[in-house]
């Protein structure tokens, strides 16, 4: 996708009367409205700084070799910047740039709980407007964006036309991201995109079972643990035994090569699950028995395992890649007994229900607990961030963190939860306003610091006040490495 920009770019008179020793030329990027591209004269490494007139948004590229081009990313929309290059005591003339305004439909965020910019970092997130069903015309989403937001909810990068519905987005590093999934009336193939809008991969439509529905990418697309492949989900349509004219929805897990999209491994809910007795088939009365919505691979005891979240079963299954067997079920009615935060047996209502975005990290299972279906066992339909500590030898899953905080929200669909290396949790609340038009809850992003008592401190939160703003998941990004922002990286690095 190419952005056409006709914007001012003029060298200003140098502050010093001495002639410039560093020659600097630059203009806004034609492919990223939040970026500028510079070329510098030869003569050794230089420092390049761009800042607003108020000096409240400073980008510093230090020790960069000349000649360029050098790219400054993460500029705010509709903002004036002055950019100067220095080499020792020599400096260039000033390049002044005016970035374009954001699209009128771009969702506005508000800071509800302020956080330290360097601590919060940046979030890659999908955003869209969720339309009323009667007005949707077959597509429930409009004004779709993939975006990278800062701690104040301001976009530092955005890509229009993708992002609605169950579109997962993952940061791959350098200037690449992965997205793909289901957007209400159409699926989006797993796609690797650069920040300049170049598509490096759009996964081919390779069928792995006789039941797989073409172009039925579903909910999740994530990077494998080895960094060389992708894990994705697709749908199956399988005739029911009691009514061959009715099909039930199964799923296919696929591992795809990151460079070509070729299928490296696959697992069919029908051929590998039902046929082996690991799953029950659907019926004419239950045409959606599983609703797979997340897949995650890990290496455990030298063996590769794949975890898949089945929302409608309220369970997470583990599959051994080599044997193809389901060897663990976590959730209500599964293989592990649930323990409370205090280590005592917990009620069934304390399990996760209708879960999204599940990850196995070490001995922990990180779960966005939507709460859909909790009422079936006598509980309330609330949502929460949840971390379980698994002890397979003891046959238990102990609740380590269960946070609802002051929000007390309910999201029957969407939402995500990630765990950082230091134990902090990145929470993405997906608001589904159809459920209750008058509910005060809204889509939000938050940073939680779990405590020893099983709760967490809310150290940052931004809200989207427009009830129609929808988001699915988010991914935390190192903004220091990406945008060279002084506030996000108090000690800029020479690179």
Instruction: Dump the DSSP string for 392-435.
Output: TTTTEEEEEEEE-TTT----SS--EEEE-TTS-EEEEE---TTS
For residue 8, name the pLDDT band (cuts at 50, 70, 90).
Answer: very low
- Indicate if the pLDDT at residue 186 is higher than 80: no
Q: What is the pLDDT of residue 16?
A: 44
Mode of pairing for the β-strands spanning 110-113 and 469-470? unpaired
pLDDT in tens, 281-315: 999 999 999 999 999 999 999 999 999 999 999 99
Mean pLDDT of the chain: 90
Q: What is the pLDDT of residue 399?
A: 98
* Low-confidence winner among 349-363, 413-427, 475-489 (lowest mean pLDDT): 475-489
For residue 5, name the pLDDT band (cuts at 50, 70, 90).
Answer: very low
- What are the structural domain ranges in the chain? 9-98, 206-472
- Average pLDDT of 365-390? 95
- Average pLDDT of 81-85? 96
Contacts of 216 (CB under 8 A, 6+ apart): 187, 234, 235
- Indicate if the pLDDT at residue 1 is higher than 60: no
Q: What is the pLDDT of residue 283?
A: 95
Question: CATH 3.40.190.10: does it fit domain 9-98?
Answer: no
Q: What is the pLDDT of residue 441?
A: 80
The C-alpha R_g of the chain, in whole angstroms, comes to 24
CA distance 136 to 133: 5
Output helix, strand, coil percentages for the chain, rounded to the nearest 5: 5, 45, 45
For residue 430, name the pLDDT band (cuts at 50, 70, 90).
Answer: confident
Q: What is the pLDDT of residue 491?
A: 61
pLDDT in tens, 109-121: 999 999 999 899 9
Q: What is the pLDDT of residue 289?
A: 97
- Average pLDDT of 56-79? 90
Question: CATH 2.130.10: does it fit domain 206-472?
Answer: yes
Q: What is the pLDDT of residue 94?
A: 96
CA 229 to mean position of chain CA atoms = 17
- Indicate if the pLDDT at residue 15 is higher than 70: no
Q: What is the pLDDT of residue 322?
A: 98
Q: What is the pLDDT of residue 185?
A: 59
| Percentage of residues of the chain with pLDDT beyond 70 | 92
- Average pLDDT of 240-269? 95
Helices (H) and strands (E) in the chain, counts: 2, 36
pLDDT in tens, 354-370: 999 999 999 999 999 99
Q: Comparing 9-98 with 206-472, is the CATH topology the same? A: no
Residue, of 1 and 340, whose pLDDT is higher? 340
- Average pLDDT of 261-278? 97
């Amino acid at each position: 996708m190419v952005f056409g920009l006709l914007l001012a770019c003029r060298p200003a008179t140098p502050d010093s009367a001495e002639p410039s020793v560093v020659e600097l030329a630059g203009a806004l990027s034609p492919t990223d409205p939040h970026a500028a591209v510079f070329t510098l004269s030869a003569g050794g490494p230089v420092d390049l700084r761009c800042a607003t007139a108020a000096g409240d948004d400073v980008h510093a590229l230090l020790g960069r070799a000349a000649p360029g081009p050098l790219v400054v990313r993460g500029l705010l929309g509709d903002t004036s910047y002055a950019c100067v290059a220095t080499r020792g005591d020599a400096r260039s003339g000033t390049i002044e740039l005016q970035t374009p305004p954001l699209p009128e439909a771009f969702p506005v965020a508000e800071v509800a709980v302020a956080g330290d910019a360097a601590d919060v970092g940046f979030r890659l997130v999908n955003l869209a407007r969720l339309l009323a069903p009667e007005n949707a015309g077959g597509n429930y989403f409009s004004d779709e964006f993939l975006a990278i937001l800062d701690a104040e909810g301001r976009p530092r990068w955005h890509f229009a036309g993708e992002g609605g519905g169950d579109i997962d987005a993952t940061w791959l590093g350098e200037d690449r991201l992965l997205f793909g999934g289901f957007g209400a009336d159409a699926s989006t193939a797993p796609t690797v995109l650069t920040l300049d809008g170049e598509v490096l991969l759009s996964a081919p439509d390779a069928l792995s079972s006789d039941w797989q529905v073409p172009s039925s990418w579903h909910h999740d697309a994530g990077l494998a643990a080895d960094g060389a492949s992708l894990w994705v989900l697709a749908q199956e349509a399988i005739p029911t035994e009691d009514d061959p004219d009715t099909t039930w929805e199964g799923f296919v897990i696929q591992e795809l090569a990151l460079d070509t999209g070729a299928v490296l491994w696959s697992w069919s809910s029908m051929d590998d699950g039902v046929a082996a007795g690991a799953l029950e088939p659907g019926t004419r009365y239950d045409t959606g028995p599983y609703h797979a919505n997340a897949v995650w691979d890990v290496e455990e005891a030298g063996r590769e395992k794949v975890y898949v979240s089945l929302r409608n079963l309220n369970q997470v299954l583990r599959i051994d890649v080599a044997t193809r067997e389901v060897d663990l079920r976590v959730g209500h009615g599964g293989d592990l007994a649930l323990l409370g935060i205090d280590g005592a047996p917990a009620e069934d209502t304390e399990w996760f229900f209708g879960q999204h975005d599940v990850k196995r990290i070490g001995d922990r299972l990180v779960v966005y607990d939507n709460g859909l279906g909790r009422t079936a066992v006598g509980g309330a339909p609330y949502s929460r961030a949840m971390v379980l500590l698994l002890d397979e030898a003891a046959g238990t899953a102990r609740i380590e963190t269960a946070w609802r905080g002051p929000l007390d929200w309910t999201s029957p669909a969407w939402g995500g939860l990630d765990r950082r290396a230091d134990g902090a949790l990145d929470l993405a609340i997906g608001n589904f306003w159809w459920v209750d038009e008058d509910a005060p809850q809204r889509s939000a992003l938050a940073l939680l610091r779990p405590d020893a008592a099983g709760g967490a401190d809310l150290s940052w939160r931004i809200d989207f006040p427009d009830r129609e703003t929808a988001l699915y998941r988010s991914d935390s990004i190192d903004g220091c490495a990406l945008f060279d922002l002084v506030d996000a990286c108090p000690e800029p690095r020479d690179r």
